[in-house]
């Protein structure tokens, strides 16, 4: 199956998929040459999504996870109309988990500017429970922290505190990590928001939805006794992706293929 993100944030979803579906081979693509998606027009990101899903399908992916909230908001619907394989995005599962978790019906959304502007989470949550109020904040600097491997320490904490100060008077009891990168800042974000705020990482819910889809369509790999070797690709620096897999996941550096997009 294929998993892709604008960078290394989708590795947080890859981690959940490997935990829940250890016998599945994953093809991971980090489109770091075109990072960040969150500051680009939706129409542009939509074309990226269609292009990348096509690339993964050509490599034999039987399902694709759009492990990027911005790309999900911009391109999931269009790609679903173009390809016949199962496609899973981040926003539906994340919205459901947030509605399930909130007690006072005041939910914070930490996301990229593109995801906030799209209103996709707000609409999804409103459809599930119109009484839930969503307070959305673009936290684009978080993506840079993760891409640079600065997920802990004084600098990371300072940036997180500065970005999340906006939520101080919002009385939220739940916060959605609405960008896959932010899962790698979970411990810092949790400290800053405090123990009264439940953090929702949509990654696990996405992996669970993927497992259900594969099971319902009889696509699960049941005959593999050992974990298959995954494949990694990037449109940026292969060496950098190798380093980030080691740093963020604690895994040996994988072989990484280079992708160059036409135009």
Distances (CA, A) of 167 to 6, 141, 184: 27, 16, 20
Mean per-residue pLDDT, 148-155? 94
Looking at 21, 67, 68, 188, which residue is catalytic? 68
Residue 165 CA to residue 172 CA, distance in Å, equals 12
Question: pTM above the 0.75 mark?
Answer: yes
Active site residue 68: yes
Q: How confident is the model at residue 38 (pLDDT cuts 50, 70, 90)?
A: confident
Q: For residue 146, which phi and psi values (nearest 5 degrees)? A: -70, -45
pLDDT number for residue 263: 63
198-200 sheet: strands from edge to edge:
133-138, 106-111, 174-177, 198-200
Q: How high is the pLDDT of residue 227?
A: 67
For 103-119, write each residue's pLDDT tens digit: 999 999 999 999 999 99
- pLDDT tens for each residue of 185-240: 999 999 999 999 999 999 999 999 999 999 999 999 876 666 679 999 999 999 99
pLDDT at 4 over 70: yes
Residues 257, 255: Cα–Cα separation, whole Å: 7
Q: pLDDT per residue over 156-174, tens digit each?
A: 999 999 999 999 999 999 9
H or E element, residue 106: strand 106-111
What is the pLDDT of the chain when averaged over all its residues? 95
Q: Residue 224 catalytic?
A: no
Domains of the chain: 2-89+204-258 (3.40.50.1860), 91-202 (3.40.50.1860)
Catalytic residue chosen out of the listed positions 179, 189, 193, 210: 179
Q: CA geometry: angle at 83 spanning 78 and 86, to 5°? A: 100
Long-range contacts of 70-73 (CB under 8 A, 24+ apart): 70/6, 70/37, 70/38, 70/45, 70/111, 70/112, 70/114, 70/115, 70/118, 70/179, 71/4, 71/5, 71/6, 71/37, 71/45, 72/120, 73/42, 73/114, 73/115, 73/118, 73/120
Over range 86-92, report the average pLDDT: 96
pLDDT band, very low/low/confident/very high, at 43 (cuts 50, 70, 90): very high
């Amino acid at each position: 199956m294929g998993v892709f993100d604008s960078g290394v944030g989708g590795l947080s979803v890859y981690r959940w998929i490997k935990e829940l579906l250890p016998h599945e081979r994953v093809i991971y693509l980090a489109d770091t040459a075109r990072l960040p998606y969150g500051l680009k027009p939706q129409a542009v990101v939509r074309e990226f999504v269609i292009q990348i899903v096509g690339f993964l399908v050509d490599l034999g992916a039987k399902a694709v996870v759009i492990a990027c909230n911005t790309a999900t908001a911009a391109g999931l619907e269009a790609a679903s109309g173009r390809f016949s394989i199962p496609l899973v995005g981040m926003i539906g599962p994340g919205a459901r988990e947030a509605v399930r978790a909130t007690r006072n019906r005041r939910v914070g959304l930490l996301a990229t500017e593109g995801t906030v502007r799209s209103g996709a989470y707000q609409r999804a949550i409103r459809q599930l429970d119109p009484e839930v109020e969503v307070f959305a904040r673009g936290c684009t600097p978080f993506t840079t922290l993760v891409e640079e491997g600065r997920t802990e320490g004084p600098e990371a904490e300072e940036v997180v505190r500065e970005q999340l100060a906006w939520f101080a008077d919002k009385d939220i009891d739940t916060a959605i990590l609405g960008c896959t990168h932010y899962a790698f800042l979970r411990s810092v974000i949790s400290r800053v928001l405090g123990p009264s705020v439940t953090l929702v990482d949509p990654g696990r819910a996405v992996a669970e939805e993927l497992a259900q889809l594969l099971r319902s369509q009889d696509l699960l790999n049941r005959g593999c006794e050992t974990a298959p070797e995954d494949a990694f690709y990037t449109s940026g620096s292969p060496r950098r992706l190798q380093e980030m897999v080691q740093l963020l996941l604690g895994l040996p550096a994988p072989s990484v293929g280079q992708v160059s997009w036409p135009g």
